[in-house]
Amino acid sequence: MELWIQPCARCADLYGQPATAAPHDDLTLNGVGAVKDARAEEHYTCVRCGGVFARILAGPPMRQNWMLLNAGQH
Ligand SMILES: [Zn+2]
């Protein structure tokens, strides 16, 4: 994964959305098995900007959202 990518507009929009939101069209689901517990967390990579998302599907409701793992801080 590339570190500190500049998220494209669609990734910027998705970042922080609840996990119930659908992935946008440029995201591809990373291989199942790369994550310890695929029921709890899915990882996606954006083909446009290289952004890597974790879609948190379990745990405290406040944590169940889309986290961008490699975006720079502004
Ligand atoms: Zn993107």
How far away, in angstroms, is 13 Cα from ligand 1 center? Answer: 9
| 3-state secondary structure (DSSP) of residue 71 | strand
Q: Is residue 32 part of a domain?
A: yes
pLDDT digits (tens, 9 = 90+) for 33-68: 555 666 788 999 999 999 999 999 999 999 999 999
**pLDDT at residue 69, as a whole number:** 93
How far away, in angstroms, is 53 Cα from ligand 1 center? Answer: 9
| 3-state secondary structure (DSSP) of residue 2 | coil
How far away, in angstroms, is 21 Cα from ligand 1 center? Answer: 15
4: left (phi over 0), alpha (psi -120 to 50) or beta: left
Cβ count near 40 (within 10 Å): 14
Q: Is residue 74 part of a domain?
A: no
Q: Is residue 38 part of a domain?
A: yes
Helix (H) or strand (E) holding 13: helix 9-14
Q: Is residue 2 part of a domain?
A: no
What domain range is 15 assigned to? 9-68
Count: domains in the chain: 1
Q: Is residue 1 part of a domain?
A: no
Q: What is the pTM (predicted TM-score) of this model? A: 0.81
